[in-house]
Structure formats: structure tokens, C-alpha cells
Structure 1
């Protein structure tokens, strides 16, 4: 303890009760442990054993949180050391931060964290990512001492300009930044109201309620169709322009000749992608295995563009690709990892010419087990550029003129091999999540034509299973040669705290997550199978997805939990993922396949590269999600006041999250918009309950929601409940057991007349 506790002193030598322990913990500036509490209360011998049981009971009741190294903190308190992001400056220029992993929509308003000056080096600045030590100064109030800056943030703000006297107001596009910025007329740099701009904050500058900034660059107009992807690109700091040296390297690249490569041009390899695909870097082929020792088995060939031939290690193209980490896809554009000369030409496996490739030949058994694998560097020519829809139609008996001649030599053997791979997948017990993808379809003028879930066929799954098999084979090939460095795709099992949260949510739906011994992917799949075909299937799938750990790249093999695989690499898309390029180089070196192998310098840096490309992947996912949300918001913006059928997908103390049936759009129903009452958050049953009326809203409940706000700047949708909810008649059940904090007031939306009893003074 940092200070002696009056309560502990007053009952020295006696076992405290739960209220006394909670008060002591809540007053502490840091998480405690059992020894701290025992020492403060002067407990010895059997009393310490009794304290241990009491603390365990309090944790089970949700009165306290337990953390790493058996630390104990107030319910909802932050850990002593954590990663923060500097997200605002106050009127005095003091930096304030929020937990880096905090999600306002799931976790509610972030705690207030004042960041003290760094003991070494320069003070942290806006948007810096820091590791800090926290001191608790009250409920949701902390001070943070900087340990070190992990990642400097961008020096510029992205926002929309609005007219103001003497200049303009900058409205940030990042919904986490709830402050606005004033820009003097002489600092506008030619920008006009309605422009999207990048602006530089002026430290300490302040004008009334606003910080001060100056415009450094005009990005475009908010009413232009390209605005939404531009916002996402600039908000995430995604590089767009290639340096001149990288472009020169790409333009100098030439098609390859056969030379020492394996000639694969007589094999009818085909690419199968979506109609809107922008790169074609993987091709597939299969045939029955003629080896009598493998009855019912198949031979598979997966050929991938030989990017390592063109992108030399530590050259300008390579450094540029590593910085980007991956390509980023938006409804109206793609930000490629490599220039178009490679991504759309020499490394695109189109049928119009010979292409250099890396290929893995695999032998699988009738039940989908991989028994043989080999890698080669080849020269191929695609037999056809096919799409998922056309291949599925052909397999179902509706081939077009191009696919008809390919049915027997190509399509049917592919599906036969796919059936074998499915048996292997089922035997492993993989996690079978239904992850519908929203497709934003744009009209010719760039506006949103319509939004709908992307159709998913067996042809999609066929390609996925072929790619998974090749990725496993790549990992096994590298391990067989004791490769100097292997970049694995790692997916660890869910953390205990996420599992507990999932169990609570499932319990609210009368579903039990049970596992005998070690938790396996098939335990989740069992729950998903039971929900399949019901109106709760998608919700439960989303809940299971949120429980899963984030997959990352790393040189240490920790397996892939979701796919139930002991080893797994990414090999199949080096044109859009830097991890795959590293795997190609490692295979070239391990199997002496010529130039373009993995140099020692890169092999020694795999841990650093893994962290880097894992971060760029998360950056790309966030950018793509942000852009889609803004397109959705724009699509909905002319339907303010309209009502939609939806379902409650999340329950928090500050409101309800709902998803619309029609478009899959997600939005928030603030608790303040619910009918007038005091609402309590029942975490166990995942519901909000009105204390006086008994009106309750529960997870998975169907509702009719009215659209109140569609903010295209931040990409947020706000709703209110038009119909829905149910009444809990038992008055005792209206305030959940163990809830001690103040309930949250509901009330009419702004501008509406208040209905119901007047607020009582307390």
C-alpha cells in the first residue's frame, strides 16, 4: 500500500468483511495482492487461509477483479501497466490517454488517464502509443507515468471543416476524438468548409472550447464518392504512393524464361476468384492419385506467383512492401502492396502468357490427410480465369461455353479432391464460423447502389481448402529442412477472461459451453451447429468470433487453434501479404531453388517482422471496416426516421447495440433514448431493466428500430427503439443482485415531449 489505511488500522488482527476489503481495494492507487491485504489487516496463520477463501468468493461474485500474478483490483479497474494511446490534449496542453485496446461500443466510455511527463526523452505527443504505469486516483480516473513510447503517432488530424466565425471548425473523423479544433482563417491554407483536410494540432493553442490547429493538406470533399476510402486510408496512415526507386525496379522487371524451372505449362491450372477480384496470384489443379498405396486419394497442385523472383530482399520494392505489410481493399479501390506492373501484370496468373510461379505438389488420402509434399519453382500458363459463380453453376449442371470443355479434366477432379479435404477438416474438428461479408456495390458515379451479404458457394470453400492444404505443406516442408527461420501464422486459444464473458452471454441465451478437459475448436462448433437454422445463429456466431484471439505472424510455432492445426504458414498470396513472400524466400533457400532466397539479415529479424506485419494487417482490417461502415452510413443517411427490423447484438450499461436484418448495419441505441426510467445493467442475463416499469431489453431480442442519426464523418448510426422489449413483473428481479452503482437514466430523445413520471429529486 502507498498509504496506511484507516479501516485496516481500526480492525488490526481481525478478519475483514467484504465491504471493508472492497473499500480498501478501491482506495488503492495500484492493484494489490493477498499479502498486501493480509499485511494491512495484520492477519496471520489460519486468518490468511480464511482471507484467501473470502477473496475467491468475492471474485466469483464479481465484486473484485483478479489479474496477472494474482493481483486484486476493484471491479473494472485497469491493470498497473498497460499500453495506452494519447488521444487528446486539454486546455493547458496536457496529454490524456485511453487504453489502446479499448472499444467504446463494447466497453463504454473510456476512463480518464492523465499522462505525466516522460522521465527520459521527449514528452509523448498526440496519437503516440505508449507503455505506461498507472496510479488510480478514483473511479475511472488515473495518472500514467510513461515507461516508453512504443509507436509514435501521426502528427496530423483528419477531419471535416465547418464554417465558423473567423475561420473554421475541424470535426475529427475519428469517433474516439470527441473534441473539435478551431482553425484561424489565415491557417486554412486554401481549404473551404466541406473539405476533408489533414491538420496539425498547435500544442497549447486554445480558442474557447476548441483546441487550435492549422491545415496542412486538403484531401478532398466530403460529398465526393471517394471520400470514405480516403478517410480510412489517411486515418490509418496507409502509404499510397510508391517511391520512385520502387517504381523503377518494378518497371525494369521482365517476364521469365523456362531455364531451370519446372515446366508446368501442360497442366491445366486455373484461377478461381470473385467477379470483382483485382489480383490473380493462385492457381489450382487436381487429379486422382494413381498410386495403388493411396486408394481414393488425390494429387493436388497449387501454383503461386513467384514474387520473390521480382522483389529482391532489401531492395526498394522489398522495403516498400514490408512497410505496407499487405494490400488493402476498399469498395472503390485497392491500395496494393506492390506496384501494378507486378500485381496486375507479371505476377497476375492470367491466361494470356507464361508466368513464373512457386508450386507445391501434394498427395492427400481419401480422408484428406496430407501424406506427401514437394516444392518447385515453375513456369505455368493459366488454362482459364474463372469465377466462383461460374464454377459453381458449372458443377451444378449449368456450364457456360468456356467451362464446358473443362468439366472432366479440371472441375470435377477439383471437387472430388475438395470432398477429401472436407473429411480431413471434419476429423480435425475445426472451428466452423459463419462469417457473412457485406458487399458494397457502387454505381457508375461512385455512390452506393446497394449493400447485401456476399454470396458464398462451395467453390469458395474449395479454394480455401486448397490454400489451407498448401499452407500446411509449406510449414512442413520448411520444418523438414530445419529452415533458419519460419514465419508461422499463429492463432492461440481464447483467453480465460474472454471465455468467461462468452459463458455469461451464452448463459443469458440458456446455452451452456462445456468442455471436458482442454477446450478444443469443436466445442465451439457444437454450439454453432445447435444454433444453425435458428434466428439466433448469426448472433451466436458473432459472439464466438469475438471470443477468439487475434491471429498473428511469429517465428515461434504456437499452432493454429481455429483450424485445429499444429503448424501453419501463409504461402499462397505473396503479391498481397509480405508474410507469404518471406515464406517463399525461406523455401527457396531451404530447397536450393535459385536466386531470391532468404538472406541471414532477414532471417535474424523474423520476430521484428512478425510484429510489424501483424500490426499492418490489423491496420488494414480497421481501414476496410471503417470504409464499409461509412458507405453503410451514407446509404442509410437519406432514411432518417425510417423503421427497420433488427436484433440486439450487445447490451452495455450505456445502451444497446443492434444489427439490422435488411443491410447488416450495426448501430447504437443510447440508454438515454429508452422510455423514461432508471435502467440497471444485468451483466449475467445480458439485459437492461427499467426499475419502475420492468421494461427490459435482452441480448438476441428482436426489435424494431427507428434511425435517428447517420453520421458519415464518423461512420456511426444512432437508433431508438420503436417496438420491442419485454416486461419483468417480479420487482425484485428489476435490480440485479450485486449491482451497487447508480443506474442509468432513460428518457425521451432530444426535442420530444417527456412521457411518464417526472424525475424525483434525491
Structure 2
């Protein structure tokens, strides 16, 4: 059934499905039962397949969800893991995050705690609001937090942040007075927000940034290492034998002066680039690590890479999709080392329009490993420090010129360029230093994005034309009849077994092929293109729809782990600024007070202290209403003011940092001034 749904496009009725399966109308009841059971098993939970099935009444609505907290009645609340369903229409048609109110688990089953991922059956309550009932738990939730002494001599208290306070048995947990961070799991019969838990491990002390980072591994269920079998399989590969590879039919690209351009802390170099003028246009070559040569379908390496789905990058820590022998060594396009690769050779005209791509397996040798900053400085004529050879400087001129053409084509087809400041959180395990800075967006970043986009698009065009069994990257727009292209909003991009437009890039089809060291979807597409790039291939029996769903969940897990680790380290960084006055803006409101986002670090904290404001700090346009504290609607007068103050979302404020807790990523502020 999944193969039929994946191979066909558009809506399908019961009759269409029966004909595709080679069955007669007498099987209609059995078909409905099958689709119903598939829905309850989660087959349609993270895909658009259910929406394509016409005429099947009462098909259960199911989805993978993650518990995020509790409502005022201690009932678990959750959000969709699928970005497609993450937002819903609220009042007056406004988009807001959809909320699922979960039914508490039955006695004897582990409780739902923040971070738990489950397959839920849904019942719609209203706009963007659902009731959910657990069908299947996707993982065993781990509680991670700070241990402290409890009133009972043989019990300790674990503060797991949003998951509440838990009582655990005392053991070899170290000196709890030094704020030991520990991992535990709820025992059956506990509530979702507290109760008895079983201690599994202690990680270290809360004042250690490495411990704060490693908390994400346990909270999000990330694998700690590879199996012995996977490590043995990876270590068995010998160094690259260029002569043997060329004798096997690979193209020799070692005379092409490829360069890699990556972040300063990158270790796995998936791609290298080269360009040269070709008549009025350019000839591009994008070399991509040939991971598919090493990771064969069905092997141990393949199974573990598929389960991981993605590499996870945390400050000071990488959880790779492949063992280090491959990710950091044999597959990584290091400078001055022969490497097996797949090369996309793409001509573009002076307007940046791409011609037909030629794809070949080859052997390459990178000339230089450049950081984004080095590439930009060399191009601008202001390279600092030791510079690579002059051939690299000349190459950069061609690369940037080709990028200008590609960017012009993107703008012409309607791509909206949105520049966002990105905060970079770094942690050096050797020195223990944590830094938070705004990373500048350089033209060298955009250059690599342009080259990767043209290669990914070329691969998607070939797979679509040949009906090849790869995965596509789709990005539908959010319907808005009144919005023009400039105001158009887009849903989060996702993997799909069927080609569909990528609206944000204004492309009819798109895929991921340029990062096979760190993304399983890219590895799969390499296998599809290998030997079939210039001729049509046949579909496989593998369910790409199920794989797309799995990778969407893996992507969300990786992003959540990175976000949580960065938030903790930002709060750890702020600990050195206790008592300092910091600039920010009001970003939300809770029953306990206002949420303030700091300008420099992006940290979000609670403003609860009603500190005095003087009249000269107050712009005339602000209505003076009290900061709320306690129950919603309660208003108190800010001390020192003749009339109260009300803060509005987006209002610029200056706050004093009152307290921080890196383990729970909490910080609290007191108000100093409101800016005009």
C-alpha cells in the first residue's frame, strides 16, 4: 500500500487504490480496515498521504508529538514534531503554534514528561487545538537535572526543570552539595510532573560546561557511540588507492584545484568547489564525498547511519552519523589528500541559468581548506596570516563571479533574500571557555549556499525525470490569498518521497545531495544517482515514505538537542554578568511575569521583580500599567511610580540580571528602564 501511495501523485479514492493493488470492488471493506489500521500504526502520521486518500470515512488522525510541559491542571501538553502541522489558524485567522492536550497515561505506564515523543491519536477541539491519546511511546524518556539533598535520609531530589521535581534513591552520586547533574527514569505509577524515579547515572557538576552540553544527549535520546560491529566495519577500510580507483573507471580530477570553504570548527568536509569562466558563462564543479562507496545498503554502518539520520552538532561536541574513521578521515575532503568523490559539473550562463548537469565518480585532491572568513578576506584583498597559493586567490575570483550570476538568477525567479543575524555559541573543552557572539553573514557563506543549491537542484531534476526512488526536499507556502511574493510565508522544509516545489527557493524540485557525511537523505540520493544519473532507474521496494517520516523526526531531534545545549551554555555565560544591566525587548507574557529576550545573547528570561522606574526613564507614549505577577489579570503598582506601568510585546527594555540557573537554562531579571 505504501509503495502504491508513494508512486502515484494526487488524490486517490478507494477504487483507485483497489485497481492499483490489482483487487476487485469486493475488497473495499478490507481496504478500509487496512487503511484504518495503518493510520493507528502511524503510517500516515508524518506525511501528507492521509490527505490524498479520498472517500475513506473516519480515518484516524494520528501524529508524532513531543510533550513540552503541563497546563494549569498538570495535564501534559504537546506540540507536533512534523513542521507541516506545527502551526494552526488561531483567532482572526492568525497563525499560532498548534497545541495538543494529552490524556494522562493509565496507571502502570510511564508518565508523559517534557521531551517524551509519542504517536498520538488526535481529536480536534478547535482552531489549532487538539486532544491527544497515546498510541505508542517512541522512546524511553530520561529525566536530567540537578540532584539535591532531600528530607529523607535515603532519598535525593532531582530538579528536572519543566519535568518537575523527582524523588530518587540516594547512592554513589557524589556530594550533592556540589550540584551533581544526574540522569534518571520515571518509575511506573509516577505522575508526569513528579514522583519516584530511578537513578541511572551521574554526569558531573553543574558548573562544568561539558556536563551542560552532554545533558542534551540524554534528554533527546541521542546515541552515545557506535556498536563494535560498526566500528570494526569502518576501521577495516584502507587508505584511498587512487590508482586502483582510476583503473576501476573513476575520473581523475586531481588536477582541478578544488577548495573547501567551511566554518572554523568544521571537521567533516562534505564538499569542495571549483569554477572557471566558460565563454560568456561559467563551468562549475562541485565535488562531494563519495560516502556511498563505503556505506553499502543493509550493512551495519548503513543501519546505524539510518537510525541516526543526521549528525548532531553541539557546542564543543559532535554526535556523528558515521564513525570517525569515515566522517573525520576517509570521507572528509581534506587538503592534499586523495579522496573518492562524486562530481557535479554544471554549466551556467551569464544570467546564472544552469544547463544540464554531468555527474561522474572521481578522485580529487583539495588544494586548500579555507574558512568563510579566510575566503572573504582573500577575495577582498585583505587576507590576514599565512595565505594559500596564488592559484587559490585566482580561483576565488571565479567562484565569487559565478556566485553573483547564480544570485541574480535566484532573485529573478523570486527568491526573497532574508538576512538574519546568527548567534554562535562556542565551547572549547580544553580551556573550558564559553563564548557567545553574533556571527556575521559573509558573501562567502552565500557563495557556498549558491553552489550547493545548484547541485541539489540538478540532482532533484534528474531523479524526477527518471522517476528514481530518492528523497526530495519540499517546502510548501502557507496559503495566503492576500500576500504577494514579498510577504509570502513558508512552512518548514521537509523530506518527501514525491517531488514537489520548494517555494522558498522558487524551484519546482529540490533534494539534498551535498552533505552525505552528515545527512542520510543525501547518502540515499547518491545511491540512486550512482550509475543512474544519465539513464532512468527503477523504483525499489523500500518505503521511502516511511524513511522520509523518520528523517523528519531525526531532524527535529537534532535541532532540539542543539537548541537546548546552546541555551544552557548561554545562561552559563551570563553567570559572569550577575547584577549587570543588559538591553533586551519584551518577547512574551506569562502568568508569572513578562518574558524578556536579551539583545546580545538571545537569552530569554523572566521579568518578575517590580523595580522602581523614574519618570525620566519613561517615554510619554507608554501607558503605565503594572507588571503582572501571580494570576492573569492581576495588576500591581510598580513601586516608586505614581501610576502603574504596562509593557507591550516588542518594547525595548533595560533589565538587571538577578539570577541564573544553567542546568534548567533559566534566568531572571529585574526592570531598570524602558526605552522609547
Query: Could you say which TM-score interval applies, normalised by the shorter chain?
Result: 0.7 to 0.9
- 1:264 aligns to 2:253 (yes or no): yes
The Cα offsets for residues 584-613 of structure 1, whole Å up to 9 and x where unpaired, read as: 0110142389xxx99934xx3211111111
| Residue of structure 1 in register with 2:510 after alignment | 568
CA separation of 1:372 and 1:141: change in aligned 2, threshold 3 A: closer
Question: Which TM-score applies when normalising by structure 2?
Answer: 0.76
Bigger Cα displacement from structure 2, 694-703 vs 604-613? 694-703
Contact 2:69 2:78 in 1 (8 A): no
- CA distance, structure 2, for counterparts of residue 98 and residue 674 of structure 1: 36
How do 1:581-600 residues align onto structure 2 when only pairs under 5 Å count?
581-591=523-533, 600=540
Contact 1:189 1:215 in 2 (8 A): no
| Residue of structure 1 in register with 2:167 after alignment | 182
| Residue of structure 2 in register with 1:697 after alignment | 647
- The DSSP-based 3-state class of the residue aligned with 2:397 is helix
- The DSSP-based 3-state class of the residue aligned with 2:357 is strand
* Partner of residue 663 from structure 1, selected from 586, 596, 601: 601
Offset of residue 280 of structure 1: 1.1
- 1:642 aligns to 2:580 (yes or no): yes
- CA distance, structure 2, for counterparts of residue 314 and residue 599 of structure 1: 17
- 1:167 aligns to 2:151 (yes or no): no
Structure ID, larger Rg: 1
- CA distance, structure 2, for counterparts of residue 97 and residue 623 of structure 1: 21
CA separation of 1:622 and 1:672: change in aligned 2, threshold 3 A: farther
- The DSSP-based 3-state class of the residue aligned with 1:368 is coil
Contact 1:651 1:657 in 2 (8 A): yes
How do 1:40-189 residues align onto structure 2 when only pairs under 5 Å count?
85=66, 96-101=75-80, 113-115=102-104, 117=106, 125-126=111-112, 127=116, 129-133=118-122, 145-146=133-134, 148-149=135-136, 151-165=137-151, 166-173=153-160, 175-177=161-163, 179-185=164-170, 188-189=171-172
Offset of residue 420 of structure 1: 0.4
- The DSSP-based 3-state class of the residue aligned with 1:308 is helix
| Residue of structure 2 in register with 1:334 after alignment | 318
- The DSSP-based 3-state class of the residue aligned with 1:398 is coil
How do 1:23-34 residues align onto structure 2 when only pairs under 5 Å count?
none
CA separation of 1:84 and 1:338: change in aligned 2, threshold 3 A: closer
| Residue of structure 2 in register with 1:275 after alignment | 264
CA separation of 1:449 and 1:241: change in aligned 2, threshold 3 A: closer
Offset of residue 630 of structure 1: 0.6
CA separation of 1:329 and 1:688: change in aligned 2, threshold 3 A: farther
Contact 2:473 2:495 in 1 (8 A): yes
CA separation of 1:214 and 1:107: change in aligned 2, threshold 3 A: farther
CA separation of 1:362 and 1:620: change in aligned 2, threshold 3 A: same
The Cα offsets for residues 622-668 of structure 1, whole Å up to 9 and x where unpaired, read as: 11111111111011123233211122334567643332233332323
The Cα offsets for residues 193-238 of structure 1, whole Å up to 9 and x where unpaired, read as: 23222213222369xx951122122223222231121111111101
CA separation of 1:666 and 1:457: change in aligned 2, threshold 3 A: same
- The DSSP-based 3-state class of the residue aligned with 1:100 is strand
- CA distance, structure 2, for counterparts of residue 89 and residue 689 of structure 1: 25
CA separation of 1:268 and 1:128: change in aligned 2, threshold 3 A: closer
Contact 2:475 2:501 in 1 (8 A): yes
- The DSSP-based 3-state class of the residue aligned with 1:334 is strand
Gaps spanning 5+ residues in structure 2: where?
1-49, 52-59, 87-94, 614-623
Offset of residue 698 of structure 1: 2.4
CA separation of 1:719 and 1:407: change in aligned 2, threshold 3 A: same
How do 1:601-680 residues align onto structure 2 when only pairs under 5 Å count?
601=541, 604-650=542-588, 655-670=593-608
Question: Which TM-score applies when normalising by structure 1?
Answer: 0.68
Contact 1:236 1:623 in 2 (8 A): yes
| Residue of structure 2 in register with 1:717 after alignment | 667
- CA distance, structure 2, for counterparts of residue 628 and residue 274 of structure 1: 17
- CA distance, structure 2, for counterparts of residue 237 and residue 440 of structure 1: 22
CA separation of 1:95 and 1:176: change in aligned 2, threshold 3 A: closer
Offset of residue 416 of structure 1: 1.0
| Residue of structure 2 in register with 1:479 after alignment | 464
- CA distance, structure 2, for counterparts of residue 302 and residue 278 of structure 1: 19
Contact 1:688 1:698 in 2 (8 A): no
CA RMSD in angstroms comes to: 3.9
- CA distance, structure 2, for counterparts of residue 204 and residue 95 of structure 1: 15
Contact 1:440 1:448 in 2 (8 A): no
Offset of residue 671 of structure 1: 9.3
The number of equivalent residue pairs is 575
- CA distance, structure 2, for counterparts of residue 725 and residue 718 of structure 1: 19
* Partner of residue 418 from structure 2, selected from 433, 442, 458: 433
Gaps spanning 5+ residues in structure 1: where?
1-67, 70-78, 291-295, 500-513, 525-546, 682-686, 727-762
The Cα offsets for residues 473-519 of structure 1, whole Å up to 9 and x where unpaired, read as: 11112223231x121111121366xx9xxxxxxxxxxxxxx63xxx4
Bigger Cα displacement from structure 2, 310-319 vs 351-360? 351-360
CA separation of 1:662 and 1:614: change in aligned 2, threshold 3 A: same
| Residue of structure 1 in register with 2:487 after alignment | 523
- CA distance, structure 2, for counterparts of residue 479 and residue 130 of structure 1: 31
- CA distance, structure 2, for counterparts of residue 312 and residue 109 of structure 1: 40
- 1:377 aligns to 2:361 (yes or no): yes
CA separation of 1:329 and 1:210: change in aligned 2, threshold 3 A: closer
CA separation of 1:418 and 1:332: change in aligned 2, threshold 3 A: same
How do 1:351-390 residues align onto structure 2 when only pairs under 5 Å count?
351-390=335-374
CA separation of 1:638 and 1:460: change in aligned 2, threshold 3 A: same
Contact 1:374 1:477 in 2 (8 A): no
